[in-house]
Every structure is written in structure tokens, then in C-alpha cells.
Amino acid sequence: MSHALSTPLPPSGATGAEAAHWEGEGPQWLLVLAGDLKGVDLPKPPAGLPAAEGTTIAFDSSALSHWQPPLAGALWQLLAPLARAGVQLDLEGLPRGLQPLLKLSLPQGEARPTKKPTDDEEEAPDPEWRKTLVFIGDTLAAVGRLARGRSAMRLSDWLWQIEQTGPRSLPIVLLVSSLVGLIVAYMGAQQLQRFGAQSFIANLVTIGVVREIAALVVGIVLAGRVGAAFAAQIGSMRAGEEIDALTTLGVDPVEHLVLPRMLALLVTGPMLTLCAGIAGLTVGWAVAVGLYDVPSAAYLATTRDALEGWDLFVGLLKGSVYAVLVALAGCRQGLNAGRSAQAVGEATTAAVVQAIVWMVVAASALTVIFQRLDV
């Protein structure tokens, strides 16, 4: 819609670039919402409103950096008298969370709804790769707002997720890592014994467990325990329309639900990987010393020498990457789940499968990169 622009009319004490203001003349007007509207300060309609029949008001919120639920009430008080007077309201330029709320609360028949998809568009949903890219883009934007100190993420949510994903996952991580370390040490020692090279058991276990196996064990355990839980929790909220309610209230679901979970796993992932590596090394030491008569001092000295390189750093980095991928897969499937119990179950299964696939791809890519860098 074209607008014949005139001098903006900002509220007193604010410039047009920093606050909400009116633009336009005649039958076409534009209400620009700009800046940080934590404290709602909307300008009164210009003297020419409402004008003759056919007057239209559109909105531009592209410069709106932040808003809170009281803005909805202020807009309703501003627009309801205009809607009763016959002014047409085009709500498409408002934030997505405000549009359905104002559409329901303003006088019926006066506010034009947002554009609805055609039948053909409804029959052709976005492909999965497009949904994934949109989700990753929204997550990166939320991380950027957090880095600038403009995020609405609560510290309590983050700490709660750390407690849920870290200490509660530790027992199963230690158990699986110990068993895998036992397998690696026992099978490797059998092969080395043929050549009288039992002294190299420590090198095999240390490099294998610390660099690769511990991170993979943590990733797989988190995918089955945490990734599935994320998908089920968020999917249930979507089925119960809780996410729609958050959006209507102006709360970004990515900041409120995804960011605390992803950052929690970013903290607990390397810590669990370190614990898994210690468990694997301990079992490897027990196998080498107890079954193959490797001197304990020699085993520990070899282990210490092996850890002086980049292996520990590479293992912790891989554990962090795998944990973040698990969080992204679980939250992505939950946010895009259907609105039925069956759809939530399918999203939970898809989250585990997707997390494991992403981890395998990431492991392959990181292995090639580190080999090329000779790390």
C-alpha cells in the first residue's frame, strides 16, 4: 500500500526515529512502532482521523526492538474508537503475537485479518529442510540478542535445565562409558598380546576413549534421554496451545524454551564427556593391570603422556558439539510437532533419530578437519 507521507507526529519528548509516530495524510495513515516500547507511549491519532469513509490505517513494526504485553492494551485503547468509527485497520504490519489478539478484541468486521494462505498453499507445507533452516536462524538470532543483553531468557530456566540434563544424566553416562571402556580395553589388549605389546594398552584406551568414544557415548545417551524429553515437552506444549499463548503474550518461544535448553547442554555436554572419559580410563586401567599384568605405574605414566596432546581438547569439543546438536534436534522437532498425541510421539522419535544422524555427520566432518590440521 502506498502512503503519501507527511511530517511524522512523534509523541512529546521523543523523536520519530526513537518512538511510535504517525505518518501519512488523507485517507491513508501509517502508525510506525519504533524503538523499545517497554513503557508504552503511543501518540494520539492526528486531527484528521477519523476522516471520510474509506480511511485506512496500516502499521510498520520493522523498527520495533522490544515490546511487552501492555502494548496490546495500549493499542486496543487507541484503535477501538477508530474501528467503531469505520476506519479500516490493516494489522499485517504488527508483530505476529499482537495480530490474533487485536483481531479478536477489536470491534468485529473493522480490523482486517492477516493474509491467509490459499488452499494450494495449505496443501503444500514447507519442506523439512526449510523448517530446519528457519529454526536455526531463529536460534542464532536469539543467541545474538542474548549476547547484546536484550534477551528475555530467565536465569532460573537455564539453571533448572542444567540440573535436569547434567546430574540426572551422569549415572547412565558413567555406566555406559565404563562398559564401553571395558570392551575397548579387553578387545584391544587381546590383539596387542599377540605381539607382546601389552604396554600400548594405555595408548589405545586413552586416545580411543578420550578423543572419540566418550563424546559419542555422551551424545547418544543425551539423544535418548534429553533430546526425546525436549521434543516431548515442547511438543506437548504446542499440542496444548501453550506456545500459541506465549506468542500472543509477546514471549518468543525460542528465547523462552530453546535457548535455556541449548545453553544448558552446552555446559553439561563437556562436563559429562570428561566424566565419561575418566570412567573409561579407569576401567581400562583395571583391565590392563588386573588381567594383563601391566605395571600400574607404567600404565599411568603412558596415560599421562598421551593426554599431553590435543586429544583431551578434541574430545571435549566434540562432546560440546554433540550436546548442542541434541538440543537443537529435540527443540526443533518439538516446536514443529503436530497437535495430537500421535504427532508428539512421532516428533519424539524423530528427535532421537535426527540427533544421532547429525552427530554422525558432525563426527565425520570434525575427524576430517582435525586430521587435515594434524591435531
Answer whether residue 123 is part of any domain.
no
Tens of pLDDT along 265-278?
Answer: 999 999 999 999 99
Name all contacts of 137-146 with Cβ < 8 Å and 24+ positions apart. Answer: 138/254, 138/258, 139/254, 139/258, 139/259, 139/262, 139/328, 141/254, 142/252, 142/254, 142/255, 142/258, 142/259, 143/259, 145/255, 146/255, 146/259
12: pLDDT confidence band, cut at 50, 70 and 90?
very low
> What is the span of the domain harbouring residue 35?
21-115
25 with 103, same domain?
yes
109 with 169, same domain?
no
Picking from 285, 272, 95, 262, the residue whose alpha carbon sits closest to that of residue 166 is 272
Pairwise CA distance, residues 222 & 270, whole Å: 12
Provide the β-strand partners of residue 8.
Answer: none
Residue 209 has pLDDT above 70, yes or no: yes
48 with 143, same domain?
no
**pLDDT at residue 82 in the model:** 83
Answer whether residue 287 is part of any domain.
yes
**pLDDT at residue 187 in the model:** 87
Helix (H, G, I), strand (E, B) or coil at 56: strand
251 with 158, same domain?
yes
Answer whether residue 233 is part of any domain.
yes
Contact 327, 227 (CB under 8 A): yes
Answer whether residue 121 is part of any domain.
no
Pairwise CA distance, residues 292 & 201, whole Å: 9
202 with 172, same domain?
yes
67 with 169, same domain?
no
Last residue within a domain, chosen from 115, 150, 175? 115
Three cell numbers, residue 351: 528427535
Answer whether residue 338 is part of any domain.
yes
Q: Which helix (H) or strand (E) holds 332?
A: helix 311-335
Contact 344, 235 (CB under 8 A): yes
330 with 225, same domain?
yes
Pairwise CA distance, residues 23 & 58, whole Å: 10
Last residue within a domain, chosen from 82, 115, 148? 115
334: pLDDT confidence band, cut at 50, 70 and 90?
very high
Mean pLDDT of 227-252: 89
Contact 19, 63 (CB under 8 A): no
90 with 135, same domain?
no
Answer whether residue 313 is part of any domain.
yes
293 with 343, same domain?
yes
45 with 171, same domain?
no
312 with 198, same domain?
yes
| pTM, full prediction | 0.69
Amino acid at 56: T
**pLDDT at residue 116 in the model:** 52
Residue 97 has pLDDT above 80, yes or no: no
Among the residue ranges 98-102, 122-126, 366-370, the one predicted with the least confidence is 122-126
Contact 321, 366 (CB under 8 A): yes
Answer whether residue 8 is part of any domain.
no
Q: DSSP state, 97?
A: T
Answer whether residue 71 is part of any domain.
yes
Residue 126 has pLDDT above 60, yes or no: yes
**pLDDT at residue 95 in the model:** 82
Pairwise CA distance, residues 227 & 214, whole Å: 18
Contact 146, 153 (CB under 8 A): yes
**pLDDT at residue 44 in the model:** 83
Last residue within a domain, chosen from 60, 89, 115? 115
**pLDDT at residue 203 in the model:** 86
What is the CATH number for 101? 3.30.750
252 with 366, same domain?
yes
Q: Who has greater pLDDT, 351 or 101?
A: 351
Total number of domains constituting the chain: 2
Picking from 20, 24, 22, the residue whose alpha carbon sits closest to that of residue 3 is 24
Among the residue ranges 39-43, 202-206, 335-339, the one predicted with the least confidence is 39-43
Q: Using the CB atoms, write b or e for 185-198: b if 16+ within 10 Å.
A: bbebbeebeeeeeb
Name the one residue in this structure whose C-alpha cell is 560440546.
320
**pLDDT at residue 115 in the model:** 52
Q: DSSP state, 309?
A: S
